[in-house]
Amino acid sequence: ARVPTNSSNYTFPDGFKFGVATASYQVEGAWNKDGKGHSIWDYQTHNETYLIADGSNGDDACDSYHMLEKDVALLKNLGVDFYRFSFSWSRLLPSGHINAVNNAGIDYYNGLIDALLREGIEPLATIYHWDLPQQLQDLGGWPNPVLADYFEDYARLLFENFGDRIKMWITFNEPSVFTNGYESNINHAPSIEAPGFGKYLASHTVLKAHAQAYHLYNNMFRETQKGNVGITLTIDWCEPKEETEHHLAACERFQQFEMGLYGNPIFSEEGDYPEIVKTRVDNISEAQGFRRSRLPKFTQDEIEYIRGTADFFGLNHYTTQLGTPSTVIDSQPSYRNDIGIHTEYDESWPESASSWLRDVPWGFRKILVSLKQRYGNPPIIITENGFSDREGHEDDSRIHYHIGYLTELLKALHEDGVNVFGYTAWSLMDNFEWNQGYTERFGLHYVNFTDPERPRTIKKSGKIFKEIVATREIPERFRK
Ligand code: GBH
């Protein structure tokens, strides 16, 4: 291995890109303006208010729909290379279907993209960040395989209208998270209680939808538009609570269910779901008395069709968990039981405002190295990494988090040879944090949600981030 000098260890290589991220439902607001249709998040926040910590919604959120110039000014001030945002499917196709395009939606995104490009900021677009049109949910949502075709239609609309200017596409944000909306009725929209079935059926469609969009781009757009298409997966590092073979195996199961379910079909050499996932779900299904596995099967043609359908690996990484095996097989089907793990947090790890998020920087390096090993060192872009608090501008714990994680990223890059080419902070600004409403803030900018003007002010962390982007290194005062 190369032994880097101290200073190169704290320096980002030439061409490394920095950005910040948001997602349509979390920032846009204007939930019913100018012909926008309803999404499952409009539905959930309006009709299942009890699922949202403060009973709030994204009706207005940061009102970015009306303030795109303001947002672009914040980005310009940060000096970032790119902005990661997502398209709202129901703003563009109010019913979800391709027969009726909402031109006001096209205009809005044209305005945003052009404003970014005017400032030299590259748009990095997520096609789907969780806000499924409600009318497609009425057809069953992602467990219905027909959605793969509707997603392809929607992706085609985006490539046709925006692909001349967008050169980095992410098909899906975190399939492992939003498919939980088909696993339990206390969480993500559409909050359907179908444990042990819904998540696998939804994931099966999502993988096909992803591959269809990728092939569509390859066949129809790549030659002229010359962009890249990838997917964003999220995964925590799983640290075995004890150093036993069983603990190691439990963490490996965790990785293969939480990430491999999507990563293996797309990024592995052999394709298809991971062996351990197939074996576990098949066997447990049988033990539970089912005639067929709860995990759907891909045909050999489908395996080949999905394999290799990403030009880069988008990684969202936030935290680390401690894993302990739990191998009692429940008679009731559930995804959690299929994994066979109990996870917890070490009490010594610094807390955030989110129960699931602790500041554990060394786990970042470990997950990066494991991705390199698992998938043959793919080009990786960190599409989200961030920390929550409840209030305020003097956010030293967020600074601690980003510095720590960026330092570990540099070790993975310089010392372990991980092919990571970019980093995105979540988030540009405080926004609607899904089931947590506005009670948890992730922004580098503070947003005052009680003021109709939604003023944004830079936090201490935003200023430090700006410094890192400008100097392309960890400032000396933060080096250990
Ligand atoms: C990202 O997911 C999302 O892409 C982004 O939209 C979001 O704002 C950001 O995180 C911050 O949360 O409450 O115990 O059931 C990160 C992965 C997966 C973390 C779901 C929270 C819920 C844990 N998220 N998880 S729990």
CA 371 to chain centre: 16
Preceding omega of 427 cis (within 30 degrees of 0): yes
Q: Is the CB of 384 under 6 A from ligand 1?
A: yes
Residue 240's DSSP bridge partners are 323
Mutate which of 354, 355, 364, 405 for ligand 1? The one with the most ligand atoms within 8 Å of its CB, which is 354
Which tokens hold the place of 210?
A: 């992803």
Q: Strand 313-316 relative to strand 380-384: parallel, antiparallel, unpaired?
A: parallel
Q: How far is CA 313 from CA 13, 128, 309, 321, in A?
A: 19, 16, 10, 22
pLDDT higher than 80, residue 338: yes
CB burial class (10 A; 0-12, 13-18, 19+) of residue 288?
A: middle
Residue labelled with tokens 């603990």: 247
Which tokens hold the place of 426?
A: 């979540």
**Average pLDDT over every residue of 102-127:** 99
CB 214 within 8 A of CB 311: no
Residue 352 alpha carbon to ligand 1 centre in Å: 13
- Which residue, judged by its Cα, is nearest atom 21 of ligand 1? 356
Considering 183, 384, 408, 473, which one is annotated as catalytic? 384
Q: Is the CB of 352 under 6 A from ligand 1?
A: no
What's residue 213's pLDDT? 99
The ligand 1 atom at the shortest distance from the C-alpha of residue 386 is 11
pLDDT higher than 60, residue 210: yes
CB 39 within 8 A of CB 132: yes
pLDDT tens per residue, range 407-448 = 999 999 999 999 999 999 999 999 999 999 999 999 999 999
Establish whether 239 is a catalytic residue.
Answer: no
pLDDT tens per residue, range 287-324 = 999 999 999 999 999 999 999 999 999 999 999 999 99
Q: Is the CB of 442 under 6 A from ligand 1?
A: yes
pTM (two decimals): 0.97
pLDDT tens per residue, range 156-166 = 999 999 999 99
Mutate which of 62, 351, 356 for ligand 1? The one with the most ligand atoms within 8 Å of its CB, which is 356
Give me the helix-helix angle, 245-255 and 275-287, nearest 10°: 100
Three-state DSSP class for residue 425: strand
Q: How far is CA 410 from CA 367, 383, 407, 419, in A?
A: 13, 16, 5, 11
CA distance 433 to 183: 20
- CA dihedral defined by 70, 75, 79, 84, rounded to 10 degrees? -160
CB 36 within 8 A of CB 52: no
Q: Is the CB of 131 under 6 A from ligand 1?
A: no
Q: What is the mean pLDDT of the chain?
A: 97
pLDDT higher than 70, residue 4: no
Helices (H), 344-444: 361-375, 396-414
Preceding omega of 190 cis (within 30 degrees of 0): yes
Question: 136 CB contacts (<8 Å, ≥6 apart)?
Answer: 96, 147, 150
What's residue 5's pLDDT? 53
- Which residue, judged by its Cα, is nearest atom 20 of ligand 1? 177
Q: Is the CB of 8 under 6 A from ligand 1?
A: no
**Average pLDDT over every residue of 352-367:** 98
Confidence of residue 329 (pLDDT cuts 50, 70, 90): confident
Nearest to 88 by CA among 123, 124, 36: 36
Q: How far is CA 241 from CA 248, 323, 344, in A?
A: 9, 5, 9
Q: Is the CB of 356 under 6 A from ligand 1?
A: yes
Q: How far is CA 388 from CA 29, 171, 207, 427, in A?
A: 21, 26, 30, 10
Which tokens hold the place of 281?
A: 């779900």
